[in-house]
Structure 1
């Protein structure tokens, strides 16, 4: 079953075409990884899917609903999506528990005792059960990103969007966050993520999509895209990745 369908998605900033007619389907329980050079449109695509950016053209259908319809309240559509960005975006004045329970309580009307019980279960799942009453600035970057993922999962989203979630981390913290995403992938989560971690993409992705200058140039299973791509631009990009020791 197709959970997300993107058709003809276009977006420009100041006359510069950032997304140029993107067509993309994501099946339920599928892990789709977006790769490409910085500025290729990966983050903009995720922000458009989450309706954080206005579309210049195109259509986004989530679970059979055209969420790009301007008559639709975008906040309603976002309730079906969890999103984690490069920066952690945790509220510094709130404890970890309050950060995770805020949306379920305020947006979804979950009673506080249930929201807190669910949050404690999520903290155990991400390996931080003892950090419920800690404040974000008392956590490492990797711990903050794991809390951000727990927060994104707190309202049981159908689709999880992950935007370069390890790019702001020190190298030694990258592994703990990617390990968590790997665990989520094995439980059947539907994930659309952008990453520069090619080795991780090779291990976890059901499908890899290469973006270049706002176009989806090539897509397929990681065994094909990352080892024997057909498009010259994909081969050039991966050659540079290999030279940098990232694949």
Structure 2
């Protein structure tokens, strides 16, 4: 397994956010995390990327326990890309500078190599002409695609996507979903937290339903989204259907 989360527990004060959660992700697999707000989806992604420290359990990447306190977190993050729902681009820096900042400053990669790789990604996405542009001159869809490029420039083993379409106007969602679909076709391993059930059904190899900090049900999209076995899953999806999001 590329990623193995075993009995992961995360507590904030008296609130248990992740409750002995276990989840495995194979290389080249796309796993969609679904569930109500507060179910633990975003916290799990932050724990995998070592932005939040777990209280118990283990997380392994390529067989290495990355939650070992002795681990070099910066080296781990070179293998993991994380994209937030808010783009988190620095407004005072150009698109190209936003993309290359962490690889050159934090990971000490050669600036020329990093910039060349960034431009390759921008060209693929039709954004090469925006390299010298500041974020406030871009649409929301363009900003989110730049944020994804920033996560990809280190050639990560694993890409984590946290509700990357939730802050976008509906007409801009398609731009980002097309990019994610293309990454899947190229074999990128991804774990994505999403409220876009239709998209999860199209792109995910497996859907995991989180409830109260646990993976309550998981399986192929057609099974979990079409014929769930758990009452909580059925209840959640019925609300999604009522809202017209499935």
| TMscore range, shorter length | over 0.9
Residue 240 (structure 1) aligned with residue 228 (structure 2): no
- How far is the alpha carbon of 1:114 from its aligned partner? 1.9
- How far is the alpha carbon of 1:108 from its aligned partner? 3.2
TM-score of the superposed pair, with normalisation by structure 1: 0.97
Q: Do 2:74 and 2:107's aligned partners in 1 also have CA atoms closer than 8 Å?
A: no
Alignment of 1:113-152 (within 5 A): 113-152=112-151
- How far is the alpha carbon of 1:127 from its aligned partner? 2.6
- Structure-1 separation of matches of 2:215 and 2:198: 20
Moved over 3 A (4+): none
- CA deviations on 1:27-54 (whole Å, 9 max, x unpaired) are 0000000000111110001011111111
- How far is the alpha carbon of 1:110 from its aligned partner? 2.8
- Structure-2 separation of matches of 1:60 and 1:196: 25
Alignment of 1:33-182 (within 5 A): 33-182=32-181
> Once superposed, what is the RMSD of the aligned Cα atoms?
0.9
Q: Do 2:33 and 2:191's aligned partners in 1 also have CA atoms closer than 8 Å?
A: yes
Unaligned runs of 5+ in 2: none
1:28 aligned counterpart, secondary structure:
coil
1:162 aligned counterpart, secondary structure:
strand
Unaligned runs of 5+ in 1: none
- Structure-1 separation of matches of 2:127 and 2:32: 26
- CA deviations on 1:54-83 (whole Å, 9 max, x unpaired) are 111110000111000011121221111000
- How many residues in Structure 1 have an aligned counterpart in Structure 2? 246
Q: Do 1:209 and 1:220's aligned partners in 2 also have CA atoms closer than 8 Å?
A: yes
1:188 aligned counterpart, secondary structure:
coil
- CA deviations on 1:209-239 (whole Å, 9 max, x unpaired) are 0001111100000011010010111011111
- Structure-2 separation of matches of 1:53 and 1:109: 24
1:208 aligned counterpart, secondary structure:
strand
- Structure-2 separation of matches of 1:64 and 1:30: 16
1:91 aligned counterpart, secondary structure:
coil
TM-score of the superposed pair, with normalisation by structure 2: 0.98
2:244 aligned counterpart, secondary structure:
coil
1:193 aligned counterpart, secondary structure:
strand
1:152 aligned counterpart, secondary structure:
helix
Q: Do 2:159 and 2:188's aligned partners in 1 also have CA atoms closer than 8 Å?
A: yes
